[in-house]
Structure 1
């Protein structure tokens, strides 16, 4: 979608803003109080409180994320989240015990997890969408297990067998599944991604990864040669080479994340309304890397501040491009959307997402 194009207006004589930016009203200090309580209680209760911790975390971030003066809301029941986590934990425990009796079962366990993954993704997305609302209207997610299997199992397998050549198609399929299966009230989100920019993004990321890893490997080889090529020097050079791969990945991963986010939002629509994301890759990578550094230096205590810092940057660089009055848009579908939400509620009683 061309973000500079003129979008259609919903009604005559309606004043329409050029864009409605998202904003975040929370702070690192506020979230630190929630985070530290969540950590302590989760440890004391051997992880049981983690379901309540998730609800507190999600509510804080959504309730402080504001669009057109209205915050988003999170409605999940922590008991339902706990049900999902206990179910997944029970399956993993039984599978691991079975694998201990017969090593061949390790392969079967892996295949079972692969088979269940699409169902878990679909279930988790349905739960999250149903429990998220804006101005009293809930989101809905209708993505099926079959489409999830294509996006998260078949396409990644195809990408692996083609040595990564089809990876852009896997990323495209996954983003289309997440966006095109999402609905707000009675309206549908839609996105159609071109494959060219994804290839260009991955090629650039791959080049950066190779350059960083090669630089570290070269430094390691020089060090080993300077030390006379003894066994310890060779082991040290190998370690430096592996470290280079991790450093390269630490740079590339956030770069891919921000570029994909921009691509998706800039080509996404909700009815006639558009969106725009203006995140800068260099700044995003800088925030991620400095967050890791500060978290390590403070032995983890900077973690809540890091989360807020990154979330604020993402949110405040996204805006909605309204095609007309948002109030009219919400009012037009409110009754029908409420009926749909009530009918779907019984099907979304547990969360399998962590």
Structure 2
């Protein structure tokens, strides 16, 4: 009897294995074929022309940057293409520039009503702007001649944007609560001025507002990322999404922990540097006070530089890497492809810190090399597993490719694609 059961289990395992193998799943690691030296030539031209044109060259710079990174990104052996028309990117840039100038004029001339209308209008239109940007980004991305799409309706976009409006309600409630709970101002006997009294309920109300703000931001990020994946299309195939909201909450908590550890390290470094500088000044004595003060100033400058680099940089790099790994390890394209990511968060944090240090030491000229190295590390940590041969899948998707013209507003909203 045991022999029979064992043989049946063996046949079952063999059947599953042969079924899996018959699916012909091919792994393809993404590759980046560019280099820092090549991109430096693109970057330096963009910087110089942007300076000479007082920033008006920005849409051309963005297009050249996107085309370089897309063209050197290989997905299953084939490069991506960025096909946005320059004219439409320029229109989007000009519209954004005019709105920014109008807002700054309203602020500087004290037109509070106009400023309020700009803020309210920006909040109401922010989902429209985000949705348009996503349509623009995907509609102008090609792989083996296949165009990507963002098929979410405006109703879906605004539904996913509810944390934006919840955030506004939260701070309206906080403002109303502060007005209601605030005790009468205390008059300072020396100056005669009225000073507001800070009480525990006021502090608790503001703390609650900050907590709800963070939760709304996390929820908005989760809603937008999930909507982007689930409503993206290549041919008629939709994206798949597995993460849940609590995955994003845990990621933010881990980021907070990294920030606190970085802050402790920063305090220890600055304290040690300051103590050492004071000891050096005291050893130099009165005769070397001038040199001692110079050393102390230099130590303070170095300490401030380290503070700026170490305060938030590790936490931001950790969050970027962890979010990238969480996303790309849990998405796919219908039942024809899935992605896996093995990006090391620690390795990415160290790379970011090294790049920041070299960028400071080279007065910014290491920036293009830093961008390439960080992009390469993230990209080449992703493997796409394709069910069936790539040529067969691409051919089937090509037959599903819809026709028609793109959304005009999406074409106008050409936002930055490569950081």
Given the two structures, how large is their TM-score scaled by the length of structure 2? Answer: 0.71
Gaps of 5+ in 2: 1-15, 171-208, 279-295
Q: Distance in 2 between matches of 1:187 and 1:207?
A: 39
SS of residue paired to 1:139 = strand
1:349 aligns with 2:411: yes
- Confirm or deny that 1:174 pairs with 2:224: yes
Cα 1:42–1:124, aligned 2, differ >3 Å: closer, same or farther?
same
Paired position in structure 1 for 2:291: none
> Does the alignment pair 1:197 with 2:209?
no
CA distance in 1, matches of 2:357, 2:303: 19
Matched, 1:270 2:282: no
Indicate the residue corresponding to 2:399 in structure 1. Answer: 335
8 Å contact 2:93–2:414 — kept in the other structure?
A: yes
**1:54 match:** 62
Change (3 A) 1:297 1:243: closer
CA contact 2:106–2:112 (8 Å) conserved in 1: no
Matched residue SS, 2:239: strand
Q: 1:274 to 1:192 in 2, by over 3 A?
A: same
Greater Cα radius of gyration, structure 1 or 2? 2
What corresponds to 1:80 in structure 2? 88
1:308 Cα shift? 0.8
Contact 2:234–2:397, Cα closer than 8 Å, also in 1: no
In the TM superposition, 1:26-175 aligns within 5 A as 26-105=34-113, 106-143=115-152, 144=154, 145-147=157-159, 149-150=161-162, 154=166, 160-162=210-212, 164-165=214-215, 168-175=218-225
Query: Deviation at 1:321?
Result: 1.3
User: In structure 2, the residue corresponding to 1:164 is in which secondary structure?
Assistant: helix
Q: Give the direction of change, closer, same or farther, for the CA distance of 1:52–1:7 in structure 2 (3 Å limit).
A: farther
RMSD: 3.3
Aligned pair 1:208/2:270, yes or no? no
1:261-296 C-alpha deviation (Å, 9 max, x unpaired): 111111111011210011000111111111111111
**1:244-263 equivalent positions in 2, closer than 5 A:** 244=307, 247-263=310-326
TM-score relative to the length of structure 1? 0.83
Q: How many residues align?
A: 336
Give per-residue Cα distances to partners, 1:79-126, cap 9 Å, x unaligned: 111100100111111122123333524444333322222221111111
Cα drift, residue 344 of structure 1: 2.7
Is the 1:152–1:174 contact (alpha carbons within 8 Å) kept by the matching residues of 2?
no
Which sections of structure 1, spanning at least 5 residues, go unmatched?
Answer: 1-5, 228-232
Structure 1 residues 140, 66: closer, same or farther in 2, change over 3 A? same
**Partner of 2:34: helix, strand, or coil?**
coil
Contact map agreement 1:201 1:256 (CA 8 A) in 2? yes
170-179 vs 303-312, which deviates more? 170-179
CA offset at residue 22 of structure 1? Answer: 0.5
